[in-house]
Amino acid sequence: MPLQLYRYAACGASNVLFDWVVYFIVYNFVLQHNMLHLGFVTLSSYIAALVLTFPITVTTGFLLQKYVTFTSSNMSGRTQLFRYLMVVFANLALNYVGLKLLVDGLKFFPTPAKMIITVFAAAFSYISQHKFTFKQVTKQPKEKWRVN
């Protein structure tokens, strides 16, 4: 197994476990299975838990991927963060649709549904992070234009 893939798996697994624990705590103890009324919109408890855990695990995930897994990327940190957030928002959409389908449609419990969706999101995320967010950019030598 390549070292980068191993690091991705280790960091990703750690962040996923962290996400699951935070999600479980927020869903069961903070929200206590109650809907979250924000005035202009009401979120179901399992979607509200997803929204509340999102910024925490995005931050830890980016830091782990940037400083542990994809250390050879020579793109600017700002570009990496922007691209990382693009992939994360795609994953957020995948999580939202997956939770709606599994919990509302197929009547799964929210936490196991989140775990199932994570498997699909992890595969998408690795490919995206490796090929897009943290790719190694080869610097092209600047051509000198000569005017004759």
pLDDT in tens, the chain (148 residues): 788 889 988 998 999 899 989 999 999 999 999 998 999 999 999 889 988 998 999 999 999 999 999 888 888 889 999 999 999 899 889 988 998 999 999 999 988 998 899 888 888 888 898 888 888 777 666 666 666 5
Looking at residue 139, its pLDDT comes to 67
pLDDT at 147: 62
CA distances from 132 to 55, 59, 64 (A): 21, 18, 17
pLDDT at position 144 is 62
Q: Within its chain, how far is the Cα of 51 from the centroid?
A: 12
What residues does each domain of the chain span? 3-133
- Residue 6 structure tokens: 């191993």
Instruction: Report the alpha-carbon distance of residue 22 to residue 118 in Å, rounded.
Output: 14
What does the pLDDT read at residue 91? Answer: 87
